[in-house]
Structure 1
Amino acid sequence: MVSPAAERGRVVRERLLKAAVELIPERGWTAVSTRTLAERAGVTPSVVHYHFPSLSSLLNEAATGQMSKMLAGLNELMESAPSPAEAIETMLTSVQEYTGADTASLLFIEAYLASTRDDDLRERIARSAAEFRRRFGEWLEQHEVPAPFETAAVLAASVDGLLLHRGLGLTANDPSAVLRRLLSTSPEEERQCEQ
């Protein structure tokens, strides 16, 4: 049985993480301070450091927690698809809900940028992405897709790129149609491209 104090601590931690997830897209990673975070969560600044070793560790946990949730959702979509083509179609269609200016997109963009200066954050993001690629690669392998792990890596990077580029004005309404056209090239066309 969880003690009342432990439950209160869990609730406060969750409020702090939720506040970070809200503030990062609103203000930008570097503009989130312990004070603004504490105010948003309805606690005193000292409580932030009671629950987390540093502000950056809190921000890292908040951002990578959201990323993991999104990737888990993509895994669920993929695993419910009856074929690899439909899994890819579903993944690409899921990108349409992100504009590049929505809170999820901004959170990811801010986290990616912050990860260029924070080894811990970069490693956390890399682990989440690697886990997604591994699970997707295993699923593709079960469906006898050639080079399943390489395919999973390229498709994951494509989805990531589409999300990032939507914030830069990408207007392709149906990116899966573009990829289908690319994949439908004849063997002769492939040989010409390789030369």
Structure 2
Amino acid sequence: MTSPAAVRGQEVRQRLLAAAAELIPERGWSAVSTRVLADRAGVTPSVVHYHFPSVQAVLSEAVVTAMRHMLTATDEQFTAAKTPAEAIDAMLASIEPHSGVDPMSLLFVEAYLAATRDDRLREQLAALVADFRQRVGDWLAVQQVPDPAATAAVLAAAIDGILLHRGLGSSSEGTADVLRRLVS
């Protein structure tokens, strides 16, 4: 049986992670301070450091959790497809709600940028991407797509690129046809 204090502690921890995931796209990674994070989560600044060793640790865990969730959802849609062409459509559909400047897109952009300066975060994000690429590559191999691992790498990079370009106002019109040819 879990104690009420442990349950409250988990709830506070989750509020801190949710607040971090909101604040990163709003303010930018480096502008999220202990005080700002505590205010958003409705706790005192000392509580932040009770639950996490640093603000960086909160931000990193929030981002890794959000990215894992999004990649898992994309993976589920992709691997539920019956053909590689349907899988491309499913992958593109999974990013359709994202404009490139929406909170989730900005969260990813900020995380990628922060990972260039934080070795631990870079390792965590690289592991998520590698795992996603492996699962997509395995599915492509079953579908007998040539060079499935390299194709999965290109697909993952293409999806990231599409989102980055959307943030700049670029259209992704015609992308589905190109990506379908890649897996045909």
Amino acid at match of 2:131: E
Q: 1:100-123 CA deviation, whole Å, 9 max, x = no partner?
A: 110000101111111111111111
2:15 is matched with 15
Amino acid at match of 2:34: T
Cα RMSD (Å): 1.5
Q: 1:4-62 CA deviation, whole Å, 9 max, x = no partner?
A: 11111110000000000000011110000000000000000000011111110110000
Query: Where in structure 1 are there 5+ consecutive unaligned residues?
Result: 185-195
Is the CA contact 1:24–1:107 (under 8 Å) kept in the aligned structure 2?
yes
Is the CA contact 2:85–2:180 (under 8 Å) kept in the aligned structure 1?
no
Distance 1:35 1:123 in 2: 28
- From the superposition, tell whether residues 48 and 108 of structure 1 become closer, same or farther in structure 2 (CA, over 3 Å): same
Distance 1:17 1:36 in 2: 13
SS at match of 2:117: coil
- From the superposition, tell whether residues 125 and 7 of structure 1 become closer, same or farther in structure 2 (CA, over 3 Å): same
Shift of 1:89: 1.7
- From the superposition, tell whether residues 181 and 153 of structure 1 become closer, same or farther in structure 2 (CA, over 3 Å): closer
Distance 1:43 1:127 in 2: 32
1:33 is matched with 33
Shift of 1:138: 1.0
Is the CA contact 1:93–1:176 (under 8 Å) kept in the aligned structure 2?
no
Q: TM-score, normalised by structure 2?
A: 0.95
Is the CA contact 2:13–2:51 (under 8 Å) kept in the aligned structure 1?
yes
1:81 is matched with 81
Q: State how many pairs are aligned.
A: 184
Distance 2:65 2:183 in 1: 34
Distance 2:128 2:174 in 1: 26
Is the CA contact 1:63–1:111 (under 8 Å) kept in the aligned structure 2?
yes
Write out aligned runs for 1:130-141 (5 A). 130-141=130-141
Q: 1:46-94 CA deviation, whole Å, 9 max, x = no partner?
A: 0001111111011000011101100000111012111111101211232
Is the CA contact 2:24–2:32 (under 8 Å) kept in the aligned structure 1?
yes
Distance 1:73 1:51 in 2: 28
Q: Percent identity?
A: 60
Query: Where in structure 2 are there 5+ consecutive unaligned residues?
Result: none
Q: Does 1:94 align with 2:94?
A: yes
Write out aligned runs for 1:39-54 (5 A). 39-54=39-54
Q: Which protein has the larger Cα radius of gyration, Structure 1 or Structure 2?
A: 1
Q: Flag as ranges the 4+ runs of structure 1 deviating above 3 A.
A: 178-184
- From the superposition, tell whether residues 177 and 144 of structure 1 become closer, same or farther in structure 2 (CA, over 3 Å): closer
Amino acid at match of 1:86: E
